[in-house]
Amino acid sequence: MSDFLINAGRQTLMLELQEASRLPDRLGDDFVRAANTIMQSEGKVIVSGIGKSGHIGKKIAATLASTGTPAFFVHPAEALHGDLGMIESRDVMLFISYSGAAKELDLIIPRLQEKSVALLAMTGKIRSPLALAATATLDISVEREACPMHLAPTSSTVNTLMMGDALAMAVMQARGFNEEDFARSHPAGALGARLLNKVHHLMRTGDAIPQVKLTTSVMDAMLELSRTGLGLVVVCDDSSRVQGVFTDGDLRRWLVGGGTLAAKVAEAMTQGGVTLNAESRAVEAKEVLMKRKIAAAPVVDDNGLLCGAINLQDFYQAGIL
């Protein structure tokens, strides 16, 4: 039985791959026209389809939306019961139907024509009513489905998915959509965390900033170091400009060297040190800390004034790994 199952699965994959391998040669004037229609539209792309075509259509709409083309899915039945009102003349409809003869089209196509809505077709029948009414037709036809009964949509749904991806990726690249644009559509994801977060989004502020003055004693700086647990204390002048940092290592070296707790922290601190700008990208700031092999740093604004503090754990908690 195991050999039978493996062979059946392998045959399905081979048939679907064989059908999909024909798609690249079908891209021509209609594909270019479909892509240009979407790019020139000032509205949205409304994707529609029934059954398996509808399931794939939802994915295509989601892919378009996440790659710079406003899009959503509308079920044909819902469209005929009110949702056509969501479609405007500046929009584009991408209708998916392998037969190109879904009965809902008899009512939908005239309404789209009345509103001057551009219609794009994705179908396996390039002489169907859908294809003939469309501005551009994308051919997803197959010689045979992978289903042994030639009934269940299999090879054709793979072709539909791939053609939708080809269209979305072509439009995305033509528009110059980049990683940062993608991140804005996925702010909760790892890419969003890496590209959208700036240091000021993650840094500690207010009382959470460990800071002392140049004239503060080593003893008080040590207490401030313990209070916040950041791993350093920022030492500032009276204008809130960073003059140095005082760390656990500085404290140990000071005491081992015979320094007293009553001395000024200015004598025991590390002068200067690394500072991060509040407006810099968090991922770049983290790389600075990693490269310098330090765990924390003060954060300054564009005027060089202390406005926060941050350590590596703050980056990790934000999903910047």
**pLDDT tens sequence across 137-150:** 999 999 999 988 88
In this predicted structure, what is the pLDDT of residue 136? Answer: 97
Q: 46 has which bridge partners? A: 72, 93
- For residue 191, what pLDDT is reported? 53
Residues 6+ apart with CB under 8 A from 36: none
pLDDT single digits (tens) 78-125: 878 777 888 888 999 999 999 999 888 988 999 999 999 999 999 999
Looking at the predicted structure, is the pLDDT value of residue 186 above 60? no
Task: Compute the CA torsion angle 128, 132, 137, 142 (nearest 10 deg).
Answer: 20
Topology adopted by domain 2-177: Rossmann fold (3.40.50)
296-300 and 276-277 as β-strands: parallel, antiparallel, unpaired? Answer: parallel
pLDDT for 267-300, tens place per residue? Answer: 999 998 899 999 988 888 999 999 999 999 999 9
pLDDT at 162: 97
- Stretch 199-223: mean pLDDT: 94
Please state, in angstroms and rounded to a whole number, the distance separating the CA atoms of residues 267 and 49.
Answer: 74
Going from N- to C-terminal start, the domains of the chain cover 2-177, 199-317
Q: For residue 163, is pLDDT > 70?
A: yes
- Give residue 192's pLDDT band: very low, low, confident or very high (50, 70, 90): low
Q: Is the pLDDT of residue 193 over 90?
A: no
Tally the residues of the chain.
321
Query: How much is the average pLDDT of 208-237?
Result: 93
Query: How does residue 2 score in pLDDT terms, banded at 50, 70 and 90?
Result: confident
Residues 148 and 164 sit within 8 Å (Cβ to Cβ): no
Report the DSSP pairing between strands 71-73 and 45-49. parallel
Looking at residue 180, its pLDDT comes to 64
Instruction: Label the pairing between strands 242-247 and 270-271.
Output: antiparallel
pLDDT tens by residue, 6-31? 999 999 999 999 999 999 999 999 99
Interaxial angle between packed helices 155-174 and 52-66, expressed in degrees from 0 to 180 and rounded to the nearest 10: 20
- Which residue type occupies 121? A
Q: Residue 300 is encoded by which pair of tokens?
A: 């300054």
| φ, ψ of residue 188 in degrees (nearest 5) | -90, -5
What pLDDT does residue 212 have? 95
Which residues face 296 on adjacent strands?
311
pLDDT band at 33 (very low <50, low <70, confident <90, very high): very high
Assigned token pair, 78:
């819902």
* Run of H or E residues at 308: strand 306-311
pLDDT digits (tens, 9 = 90+) for 55-81: 999 999 999 988 889 999 999 888 787
Confidence (pLDDT) at 210: 94
Residue 188 has pLDDT above 60, yes or no: no
User: Using the 8-state DSSP alphabet, how is residue 73 labeled?
Assistant: E
Residue 36 has pLDDT above 70, yes or no: yes
Fold agreement (2-177, 199-317)? no
**Percentage of residues in the chain having pLDDT higher than 70:** 94
Protein fold of 199-317: CBS-domain (3.10.580)
| Least confident among 1-5, 50-54, 134-138, 231-235 | 1-5
User: Which of the 8 DSSP states describes residue 24?
Assistant: G
pLDDT at 153 over 80: yes
Q: What is the largest CA-CA distance in the chain?
A: 92
Whole-angstrom distance, CA of residue 231 vs CA of residue 179: 34
Tokens encoding 235: 């030492």
Q: Please enumerate, by residue number, every residue annotated as part of a binding site.
A: 75
Q: How far apart are CA 296 and CA 231, in angstroms?
A: 7
* Residues tagged in the binding site annotation for Zn(2+): 75
Residue holding tokens 């092999």? Answer: 293
